[in-house]
Structure 1
């Protein structure tokens, strides 16, 4: 009798637990996706905000590009 009563309780409770578990899992997936997106955007913004923008840095970058172009042209 106790086993039967336990089975009845499990059968009655199971659908309600699914109604709670499935949306909770979906919510967890949504929240984790949002967290990943926010971290990705934050890292990208941080990368572009903290790079060197001084005229000297721009000149160094241009010099490297010019040297690479000259090296490639010399190989032809």
Structure 2
């Protein structure tokens, strides 16, 4: 269950916490949706062309690991 604080969305996955910045609700280009629909197309298709707005990067985020995996020491002198 994601938690939203202002423009930040906080998700917990398996071994990490992800912080993602959401679209700007005061953006004049997308009105807070994070995308702009390009309706001026040369060829008519069933789906409009969607552009990501500059106020949001859906692939950017901060990953904070929760569990640190400790490596076990090698006890063998020769592994083969």
The question of a shared fold, defined as TM-score above 0.5 by the shorter chain, is answered with no
Larger helix percent: 1
More strand by share: 2
Query: Scaled by the length of structure 1, what TM-score is found?
Result: 0.24
Normalising to structure 2: TM-score of the pair? 0.24
